[in-house]
Amino acid sequence: MRDTYTTPLNTRYASKEMSYIFSDEKKFKTWRKLWVALAECEKELGLNITSEQIDELKANMENINYEDAKKREKEVRHDVMSHVYAYGLQCPKAKGIIHLGATSCYVGDNTDLIIMREALHIIKRKVINVISYLTKFALKYKDMPTLGFTHLQPAQLTTVGKRTTLWLQDLYLDIENIEFVIQNMRFRGVKGTTGTQASFMELFNGDEEKVKRLDTMVTKKMGFEKEFMVTGQTYTRKLDSIILNTLSEIAQSAYKFSNDLRILQNMKEMEEPFEKNQIGSSAMAYKRNPMRCERIGSLARYIIVTALNPAITASTQWFERTLDDSANKRISIPEAFLALDGVLNLYMNVSENMVVYPKVIESHVASELPFMATENIIMEAVKKGGDRQELHERIRVHSMEAAKVVKVEGKKNDLLERIIGDSFFKMSEEEILSLVDSKKFIGRAPGQVVDFIQQQIKPLLDKSKDILGEEAEIDV
Active-site residue, selected from the candidate residues 51, 151, 282, 423: 151
Residues of the chain with CATH 1.10.40.30: 360-441
Q: What is the pLDDT of residues 170-179, one digit of tens each?
A: 999 999 999 9
Tell me the pLDDT band of 282, cut-offs 50, 70 and 90.
Answer: very low
Predicted pLDDT at 121: 98
What DSSP string runs through 206-265? Answer: T-HHHHHHHHHHHHHHTT-S-B-S--SSS--THHHHHHHHHHHHHHHHHHHHHHHHHHHH
Residues of the chain with CATH 1.20.200.10: 104-187+235-356
pLDDT at 475 over 70: no
What DSSP string runs through 408-439? Answer: TT-----HHHHHHT-GGG---HHHHHHT--GG
Cβ 147 vs Cβ 154: under 8 Å: yes
Q: What is the pLDDT of residues 81-106, one digit of tens each?
A: 999 999 999 999 999 999 999 999 99
Q: State yes or no: is 78 an active-site residue.
A: no
Q: What is the pLDDT of residues 291-325, one digit of tens each?
A: 999 999 999 999 999 999 999 999 999 999 998 88
Q: State yes or no: is 19 an active-site residue.
A: no
Higher pLDDT, 431 or 108: 108
Q: What is the pLDDT of residues 316-359, one digit of tens each?
A: 999 999 988 889 999 999 999 999 999 999 999 999 999 999 99
Burial readout 355-390 (b: 16 or more C-beta within 10 A, e: otherwise): ebeeeebbebbeebbbbbbbebbbebbeeeebeeee
User: What's the CA gap between 14 and 288, in Å, rounded?
Assistant: 24
Highest mean pLDDT among 93-102, 276-285, 377-386, 423-432: 93-102
Q: Which of 70-79, 270-279, 305-314 has the lowest mean pLDDT?
A: 270-279
The rounded mean pLDDT for the chain is 93
Predicted pLDDT at 106: 97
User: Which architecture characterizes domain 360-441 according to CATH?
Assistant: Orthogonal Bundle (1.10)
Active-site residue, selected from the candidate residues 281, 315, 363, 434: 281
Domain 104-187+235-356 CATH (choose: 2.40.420.20, 1.10.150.120, 1.10.10.1100, 1.20.200.10): 1.20.200.10
Q: Maximum distance among all alpha carbons in the chain?
A: 104
